[in-house]
Amino acid sequence: MSGLDPGLIGTLYKAACLAELDALKPGNVHAFAPGHRMVVADFVTSAEVSAPALARTGGGIGARIRDGVAATMAAVGQNTNLGILLLCAPLAAAAEWGVSVAAVLDTLDRADAEAVFAAIRLANPGGLGRADRHDVAAAAPDSLRDAMAEAADRDRIARAYGTGFTDVTAIGLPALAEARARGLDPSWCTTAVHLAYLRSVPDSHVARKHGRAIAEDLRREVEQTLAGLDLAARPVEPLLSLDAALKARGLNPGTSADFTVATLFWDTLAGAGTALA
């Protein structure tokens, strides 16, 4: 299968990032409300400046992530897209090379590990903590997938590297398809995807910063809020109420937002004619 043009991949990546920002995503930054000392403009700029690295012709996975983070930090001075780049870089490479995501993950080597470790140190994400093995403050291991496997039980993005992105195919894409089948407009389809992640699994960004119990409480809270809620009715007020409550408690389900971008990116890449599965 022939791959997609890198220029198109970069355009689709930016479109996915912007589409995610247009949707009401409780607890996260979006067009309806800022939060966590960040505004939508930070993420718009981040998408723009990271796209060239992410879609660079022939670029390795780790280099795409590292250079995208470096460009973002230079432009906005804070970590807005490490998780997005970690998820979207393998998708971009798969689309360019005309292979599956699983095949791309099989190519990861020490250079990728070194570049990703450098990206994580540069971004310095909240709640990172320390690890007994493969700590990012130490030298990178020979295998990036080994490092990701070590973190899989505490980080959903790391887990994706070992499962071939099954959260996207099992949670995100089905939620997107269901929302479209119900006739929701694009921004509410994106909201549906974000909420599907929130209610399906505890958000690992929340878990890292506040503990697993709080992350599970958040998942249950979202599940209860959504009971009887019809997204086709565009329930802005109850979702903004949930949004404000989460932000007041400092809870930012950033992993769910990152997977939402990855889901939209996967969908648009597939729509452009590439098979990622």
CA distance linking residue 241 with residue 265, whole number of Å: 28
Q: Would you give per-residue pLDDT tens digits along the chain (277 residues)?
A: 579 999 999 999 999 999 999 999 999 988 887 766 678 899 999 999 999 999 999 989 999 999 999 999 999 999 999 999 999 999 999 999 999 999 999 999 999 999 999 999 999 875 444 444 445 655 677 788 888 998 899 999 999 999 999 999 999 999 999 999 999 999 999 999 999 999 999 999 999 999 999 999 999 999 999 998 999 999 999 999 999 999 999 999 999 999 999 999 999 999 998 889 8
CA distance linking residue 121 with residue 102, whole number of Å: 26
In total, how many domains does the chain have? 1
Residue 81 is which amino acid? N
Angle at which helix 82-97 crosses helix 110-123, to 10 degrees, equals 150
CA distance linking residue 81 with residue 70, whole number of Å: 11
C-alpha dihedral (68, 45, 48, 167), degrees to nearest 10: 60
Where in the sequence is the domain holding 66, given as residue range(s)?
1-277
Residue 5's CATH number: 1.10.4200.10
CA distances to 13, 38, 59, 247 from 250, rounded to whole Å, are 28, 13, 36, 5
